[in-house]
Amino acid sequence: MPLDQSPPLNSLGFTKPPSQTRVVVAMSGGVDSSVVAAMLSEEGYDVVGVTLQLYDHGAALAKKGACCAGLDIHDARRVSEKMGFPHYVLDYENIFKNAVIDEFADSYLGGATPVPCIRCNERVKFKDLLETAKDLEADCMATGHYIQRKMGAQGPELHAAADASRDQSYFLFSTTVEQLDFLRFPLGALPSKDDTRALAEKYDLSVANKPDSQDICFVPNGDYASVIRKLRPEAAAPGEIVHADGRVLGTHDGVVNYTIGQRRGLGIGGLADPLYVVKLDPERREVVVGPKSMLAKRVIPVREINWLGDAALSSRETWEVAVKVRSTRPPTDAVIRPLSDTEATVELITPEEGVSPGQACVFYDPDSSRIFGGGWIHKG
């Protein structure tokens, strides 16, 4: 080989044959991670499938449609058996409870609206599981997330998925540069979810038509309040529903039953104008309501920032970016005003409604698909 010619890279970016490249695939039992494992196995990689048991197995068996439940562990095992690679189930219940569930409960109790899937990626999948993958002497770890990893001038960069409707960047903003160096996301460049299901059919996987999970894995049917009441009984303490002008309009059976921006189910009918939850005050056990105009926020305090730009966050007084303040909303133009490398004030060009403490604020390059990281919205 000529001296100026480097060895070719395989599809995961390594200068060696797939058969000599070990990749741990985080398998939830769903179609996405199953396709990743089957695809890499067919390409000849040394695949090791790993599924995490994150909460009580007995309860999991009775619950369908959420990741990492008992039935999903079974589905992941069937895929590995069909494709002929080893599969392990790791008991991460204590880690998951300490790193994700307890904070979820405490955040709700504190009047915030947490996003536990982000914490799970940050503290469990991309931390403990990633370290396990290294212990297994893997070259990298692959997941079924819809996001892209691209090589830039200064190393790997995080980019939004090719299919904007499937993009999961909001839930992965806290991925660090060091983690990104070890992670791979083979589905991020696919044009649509239909392509993923077509691959599942191609590999004749039993999960080809399995529905996507909608719930947080430990919250059956999206009933957050019942989970919080079970974990923190004090969350059901009654209190008053108070108008922002000080009037007491009614009573409630627990702040945990309400979220910022909520309009329906307040139990205070008969008023001329609709009212929305504009603030939760757990210490006073008050649900504060007001007109829709009070929901609009322009200035957002953000902390615990994971910055993925090429220069340090604090190296400039301002950064012009686009931001997402909820997973279901498109990015909107904003200016970041750093207070340090991990804390900033974000000023939205156009005010947004329903900005809630506990949610993430994710930063995007307005001129490309690149993600510059993000942080957590707090009360300031």
Distance between CA 243 and CA 282 in Å, rounded? 15
The CATH number given to 237-294 is 2.30.30.280
Instruction: Characterise 45 by phi-psi region: left (phi > 0), alpha (psi -120 to 50), beta (else).
Output: beta
- Concerning whether 117 is annotated as a catalytic residue, the answer is no
Is pLDDT of 59 > 70? Answer: no
Confidence band for 131, pLDDT divided at 50, 70 and 90: very high
Q: What local confidence, expressed as pLDDT, does residue 60 receive? A: 40
Contact 180, 158 (CB under 8 A): yes
In this prediction the pTM is 0.89
Mean pLDDT on 13-40: 96
- C-alpha dihedral (132, 27, 177, 15), degrees to nearest 10: 80
Distance between CA 207 and CA 72 in Å, rounded? 10
Q: Are strands 239-243 and 286-290 parallel, antiparallel or unpaired?
A: parallel
Is pLDDT of 187 > 90? Answer: yes
Q: What local confidence, expressed as pLDDT, does residue 1 receive? A: 44
b/e per residue, 194-205, with b = 16+ CB within 10 A? eebbebbeebeb
Distance between CA 78 and CA 101 in Å, rounded? 29
The CATH number given to 18-221 is 3.40.50.620
CATH superfamily of 296-377: Translation factors (2.40.30.10)
User: Which of 67, 120, 140, 361 does the annotation list as catalytic?
Assistant: 120
Read off the pLDDT of residues 81-128 as tens digits, 9 standing for 90 and up.
999 999 999 998 889 998 899 988 888 888 788 888 899 999 899 999
- Concerning whether 67 is annotated as a catalytic residue, the answer is no
Distance between CA 373 and CA 371 in Å, rounded? 6
User: Which of 68, 117, 217, 361 does the annotation list as catalytic?
Assistant: 217
Q: Where in the chain is the domain with CATH 3.40.50.620?
A: 18-221
Is pLDDT of 279 > 60? Answer: yes
Q: Where in the chain is the domain with CATH 2.40.30.10?
A: 296-377
Confidence band for 347, pLDDT divided at 50, 70 and 90: very high
Distance between CA 356 and CA 233 in Å, rounded? 23
Distance between CA 7 and CA 12 in Å, rounded? 14
